[in-house]
Amino acid sequence: MSKLVIVAHPSLKDSLINRIWLAELANHPDALEIHSLYEKYPDLNFDVAAEQALLSKYDEIVFQFPLHWFNVPFALKKYLDEVFTYGWAFGPGGDKMKGKKIRFAVSTGGTKDTYESRITLDDLLKPMSVTFHYCGCEVLPSHVFYGASTQPAEDAVVSNAREYANQILG
C-alpha cells in the first residue's frame, strides 16, 4: 500500500460529497489507507512522531478537505505546522518528504464560477503547493467538487467520487 488519504473535514457527517468520496475509496482497502485527522485527534493534539512515521510509509499522499473561506481548514494548517518540522520535512536532514507525490481533493461550497471569476482554485491552493514543493514533493493535479452547498444530485456526486478514486488509483 503506497497511498495515504488524509481527511481534514471538521464536520464529515454533514458533507455528502466527502462521505461519498470516502465510501468510494473504502472499496479499495488494499490500495490505500484513509486517515481522518478529526476522527483520530478530536482535540487536534497531534502525535507528531506517529504522524511522521505514518507519512514516511507512503509514496503518495492525498489531502482531502473542504475549502473554508478560500483556505484550508484549521486542522490541516495546524497539522502542517506541527508535523512538517525543521529537520524532518525541510532544513538540514529534513528530507523525509522528498520525492513524495502530493494531491489535493477539495470540495467547495461555491460553484466553479465563484472561484474562477477573480481567482482560480489553483491560485487558492498555491500556499499548499509551495509548501510541499519546498519539502521536495511533487504536487499532482487536484480533484475538486464545486458547489457542495447547492444540493447536488447524488448521482453527480457518485460519478465525481468514481473519478476521484480513478485519479488516485491511476
pLDDT tens per residue, range 75-117: 999 999 999 999 999 999 999 999 999 999 999 988 888 877 7
CB 13 within 8 A of CB 19: yes
Q: How far is CA 126 from CA 39, 52, 134, 141, in A?
A: 27, 23, 12, 12
Q: Cβ atoms within 10 A of the Cβ of 130, count?
A: 11
DSSP 68: B
DSSP 91: S
- The pLDDT value recorded for residue 1 is 53
pLDDT at 44 over 80: yes
pLDDT tens per residue, range 130-161: 999 999 999 999 999 998 888 888 899 999 99
CATH number of 3-169: 3.40.50.360
Nearest one of 8, 102, 26, 97 to 55, comparing CA atoms:
97
Residue indicated by cell numbers 468514481:
162
The average confidence (pLDDT) of the chain is 94
- The pLDDT value recorded for residue 58 is 98
Alpha-carbon gap, residue 127 to 138, rounded angstroms: 14
